[in-house]
Structure 1
Amino acid sequence: MTVDELRACAEELAAQPEEWQHLVDLTPGRRHYVNLRRDDDVDVWLLCWNETDDTGWHDHGDSSGAVTVVSGVVRETTPRLGGTPAARDYRVGESFTFGPDRIHRMSGTDTQAVSIHAYSPPLDRVGQYSVDDDGVLSRVSVSYTEELRPLGV
């Protein structure tokens, strides 16, 4: 699927809360995420965010993606060599897309954030990144089923 098709998929599902609202869990102290659909073309997830939730730096392997915010505010941060990472907050009804080349991290900015994420091809392996004390960037490949969080935590 193209990123435009992924955006349409996430936005269409966001407009149908009866399909996912019963799965929302905003219990503090733990991340909650649920797979809503997985087929040969797309992998769709519901992610619930509290203000302390953070995926850590990661990529999505060979998959492109789209994110639509259905509640609260989520933050996407992208690294910048030699500079402060760039951050953007997305609010209810806003969407963004990315290709498989994107490294980013996602975090909650309040206690009521919920977003829908669509990926194509369906997720397989994702990369998690860390930077050591000497500034060396490392990537670890993990299964798409593993919880993303800052490495070393």
Structure 2
Amino acid sequence: MPDPLPFELPRGPLGPADLSRIAAAVAGRPDLWRDGLDRDRRRRTYSEVHTSEHLGVWAISWMADDHDASRGAVHVAEGVIRHEHLRMGDRPVGSAVPAGEGFSFDETAIHRMRAEPGAGPTVTIHAYSPPLVRTGQYGRHDDDRLHRTPSPATDQLAPHGGQGTPAEAVPPEPRA
């Protein structure tokens, strides 16, 4: 059994800064998530690290998207993830986020993440407050329109068809 969690259990909803600290702390503790990921599969897999009334933390393995009313933070534990913001009438714009870095967002953010092309296996640590109840993943479908595929709590982080529409190479966004 792994050692205790590397953060104190929250007594209420958390903001992006606290979630970022939790995601980074969990990323630094692979003993909490590595064994729960099936990294031989060709599709994304996930492992729950912790869920309580005010916090949900998962590790996601990206091999070959969004939140409901939750704020969140993501920390890249291994590899490189592409974090993209969707735009009206144009291709997504985003940047590569390497291991050791991360980002946070509020409940209004619409974004997507996918494995960075050519980066190899990637693991991200996600912290949400309140814990996810529903999630949605966006992608262009056969009718050439952007669709949101909702995911219920029992299937929160499993990938769904129509996501991951490739983005053209765009310069990375400036980091604050």
TM-score higher than 0.5 = yes
Q: What RMSD over aligned residues (CA atoms) do the two structures have, in Å?
A: 2.2
Gap change, CA 1:136 and 1:84, over 3 Å in 2: closer
Matched residue type, 1:126: T
Gap change, CA 1:16 and 1:78, over 3 Å in 2: same
Matched residue type, 2:160: R
CA distance in 1, matches of 2:87, 2:163: 21
Matched residue type, 1:2: G
The answer as to whether partners of 1:59 and 1:101 remain within 8 angstroms in 2 is: no
- 1:98 paired with 2:105, answer yes
Kindly provide the CA deviation profile for residues 27-77 of structure 1, in whole angstroms up to 9, marking residues without a partner as x. 142322111100011100011111x2xxxxx32010111000111111111
CA distance in 1, matches of 2:123, 2:83: 14
Aligned counterpart in structure 1 of residue 131 of structure 2, from 99, 116, 122: 122
Equivalence map 1:1-153=2 (5 Å): 1-50=14-63, 52=64, 58-109=65-116, 110-131=119-140, 136-146=145-155, 147-151=158-162
User: TM-score, with normalisation over the residues of structure 1?
Assistant: 0.83
The answer as to whether partners of 1:26 and 1:111 remain within 8 angstroms in 2 is: no
How far is 1:83 from its partner? 2.4
Gap change, CA 1:129 and 1:21, over 3 Å in 2: closer
Runs of 5+ unmatched residues, structure 2:
1-13, 165-176
Kindly provide the CA deviation profile for residues 7-35 of structure 1, in whole angstroms up to 9, marking residues without a partner as x. 01111111222222333432142322111
Greater relative contact order structure (CA < 8 Å, 6+ sep) = 1
Q: Which residue of 2 aligns with 1:55?
A: none
Gap change, CA 1:129 and 1:15, over 3 Å in 2: closer
Q: How many residues align?
A: 147
CA distance in 1, matches of 2:142, 2:35: 43
CA distance in 1, matches of 2:31, 2:89: 45
Runs of 5+ unmatched residues, structure 1:
53-57
Identical residues among aligned pairs (%): 35
| Greater Rg over alpha carbons, structure | 2
